[in-house]
Amino acid sequence: MKKIVGFIAIVLIAGMLFAAGSTEKASQAAGLNIAIITTPSGVDDGSFNQDNYNGILAFIDEHPEAQVTAIREPSGDVAAALKTAADVVAEYDVLVCTGFQFAGIGELAKENPETKFILVDTYPTDAAGNTVELPNVYAMMFAEQESGFFAGVAAALETKTNKVAVVNGVAYPSNVNYQYGFECGVIYANEKLGTNAKLVELASRAGTDVTGANVGGNYVGSFADEATGKVIGQQLLDQGVDTIFVAAGASGNGVFTAAKESNGKLHVIGCDVDQWDDGQVGNNNIILTSVLKVMSLNVHRALSRIQDGTFEGANVLLKADTDSTGFVKESGRHQLSASTIEKLEEAYKLVQDGTIVPASNFGGFTPEEFKVN
């Protein structure tokens, strides 16, 4: 009798294991159900959001059983961003959240431990606003100040009027990093490379960061206001600026329009991704180069780790030493002189090995305190 009972128990356990294995295989067969929740400019902004989206699409190309839903949060408001994520968290295996406004997602992640979160441009915080590291959250930030630095060096070397500027969207830390890096790049080029470029700022467009500090610069106040972007581009052109670094999401399209209508008087440096194709005007192009933060590859890597079961939560800072920041130098995708490329390559190595450390929002010093050794 004991042998029969034991045999039945073994059969039941085997059946349970088989069922669990079948469920896991069925889950894998169904593929990851992914949502990307973005800033107001959406996944077709040709810049920040689109690059993150492309990382997901590259993953789906390799895993066609997976699927993605793009969700645009139209206001850019922090509370609205978190509510959007909370409203859909139960429907997806993975939430990819792009932008600083998703920092407060820490509590939602704790409440939903089975959901994986990929955060871009912020680390998660708890209810008290403290940064936390969670097992189901992979949060990546980039040293945008490094890419901004390359833009500043390029602008200073290529300007003909010796007047350059940076236009940003909203003074979130990542955007201020671009601004501060750009300013440091101009300072470096003036002191080390023999340039004489002047930074132009419109006082009425100064940015206020998340602490309430005035960071200067030229801020649109939105990542989705092309009309104002164009106005600012035109205002800077009227001030004699001939080179603008544009880090403003879809608002930057307005600056591009101002450049396209300038009859060759104004050129721009693209941001986040290679924006050469967006700069085409007939047989000409307004793009000098684009500076990069390599988000798509890192989003793809995070999804791949979820897929193969090696995912671990972490808060990471991605820099030039992992080739996660840089600039476009491929032939046919820029208009930089050979001399400028050579000097940028030299500067890149100095940033990569830590000899040059550009200023950043909350980095401990401002561009005014940036030291050129």
Q: What is the DSSP string of 117-132?
A: EEEES---B-TTS-B-
DSSP state of 335: -
Binned average pLDDT, 10 residues per bin, the chain of 373 residues: 46 45 44 95 88 97 98 92 97 96 96 98 95 98 97 98 98 96 98 98 97 97 95 98 96 97 98 94 97 95 97 97 93 98 98 96 96 87
Q: Give the per-residue pLDDT at 203.
A: 97
């990569």: which residue's tokens? Answer: 352
Q: Give the per-residue pLDDT at 266.
A: 98
Q: Does domain 31-142+297-307+311-318 have CATH number 3.40.50.2300?
A: yes
CB atoms within 10 A of CB 214: 10
Q: Give the per-residue pLDDT at 373.
A: 81
Looking at the chain, the domain(s) classified CATH 3.40.50.2300 span: 31-142+297-307+311-318, 144-293+337-369
Q: Give the per-residue pLDDT at 163.
A: 98
Q: Kindly tell me the burial class for residue 339, based on how many C-beta atoms sit within 10 Å of its own C-beta (0-12, 13-18, 19 or more).
A: exposed
3-state secondary structure of 324: coil
Q: Which CATH code of 2.40.30.10, 3.40.50.2300, 2.70.240.10, 3.10.560.10 fits the domain covering 144-293+337-369? A: 3.40.50.2300
Q: Give the per-residue pLDDT at 17.
A: 45
Q: Give the per-residue pLDDT at 233.
A: 98
User: Minimal CA–CA distance to 52: which of 167, 178, 140, 144?
Assistant: 140
Q: Are 124 and 117 in contact (CB under 8 A)?
A: yes
Question: Strand pairing partners for 327?
Answer: 291
Q: Give the per-residue pLDDT at 83.
A: 97
Q: For the range 258-266, what are the long-range contacts, defined as Cβ-Cβ under 8 Å and sequence gap of 24 or more?
A: 258/229, 258/230, 258/233, 258/234, 259/233, 259/286, 260/286, 262/237, 265/237, 266/233, 266/236, 266/237, 266/241, 266/242
